[in-house]
Amino acid sequence: MKIIEIIVTPDGKTRVETKGFIGSECREASKFIERALGQQINEQLTRDFYATHTEQQRLREQS
Amino acid sequence: MLPDLGHAGAELPRKTRHKHLVKPDSNYEPVFYSELFVIPVNLRLFFPTKGASTSHGNIRTCRDGGTAERDQTRRRPLSHIVELQTEVRDAAAIRAACQRLQIQSPLYGEAKLFSGSKTGWQVKLPDWRYPIVCDVNTGKIDFDNFNGSWGKQQHLDLFLQAYAVEKAKIESRRKGHTVTEQMLTDGTIKLTIHVGGVA
């Protein structure tokens, strides 16, 4: 299941996390919410992003 | 010297292991006999080690296209994290935030602050001397609370939190996604957007 989690702290800080996506698909999926909420101040790509991204590239090259 | 037989093989007493082999010639020395037992790779099939079994499982999972994809989704990899500075750009979300906080609905117009006047959506926060003014064109909020003396920062923070939550819900529903909301013990609000609308 693909989900986007939005954590909004009591001081108004917002964090967006994407889960269950493959590769750069997560960036596309959460773009609408990031644009709607405001200015991006930090972006962190996790190990899973690179893992799934590499796998996606490999599959693309094979086909 | 006995080569490594793996977990299962190591547990078997030597006598049991010998039963699986053709009885050697009586001229064979014990050391050579042990090596004869280990060298044929096929014999390891009778004693699959714990590691070998796991490895086999992985290979099977990876080669099965559907299973690999299902496994990845089940593990739900966290692929990226973005921190945002909230900008107030939507009048509908401002209104929804006011309803959520049970404060007066916003009014559009010119508001008088201590240091001048500003035009935008005015929101009257509890116990604030002057309204806050949201400029939806710039996304900024103008306010004058004299470092907390004319209004607590906490109220402004809660307004921003309510705005972000309502705005995220509006946009998610517009895209056809399902949203669930959870209030955490420290006051943080967690929204879970199920992409594609599946809750």
Residues of B in contact with A38 (CB under 8 A): 84-87, 139, 164
One-letter amino acid for residue B152 of the chain: K
Predicted model pTM: 0.67
One-letter amino acid for residue B20 of the chain: H
Considering chain B, what is the average pLDDT of its residues? 75
Quick: pLDDT tens for B130-166. Answer: 999 999 999 999 999 999 999 999 999 999 999 999 9
Q: How far is B37 from chain A (nearest CA, A)?
A: 41
Length of chain B: 199
Contact check, Cβ <8 Å, B77/A38: no
For residue A28, the enclosing domain spans 3-36+43-62
Cα–Cα distance, A58 to A63 (Å, whole number): 9
Residues of A in contact with B160 (CB under 8 A): 11-12
Q: What is the pLDDT of residue A7?
A: 97
Contact check, Cβ <8 Å, B164/A12: yes
Q: Which residue in B has a C-alpha nearest to residue A50's C-alpha?
A: B79
Torsion angle of C-alpha atoms B128, B134, B139, B142, degrees rounded to 10: -50
B137 touching chain A per CB within 8 A: no
Domain count, chain A: 1
Report ipTM (2 d.p.). Answer: 0.81
Binned at pLDDT 50, 70 and 90, residue B55 comes out as: very low
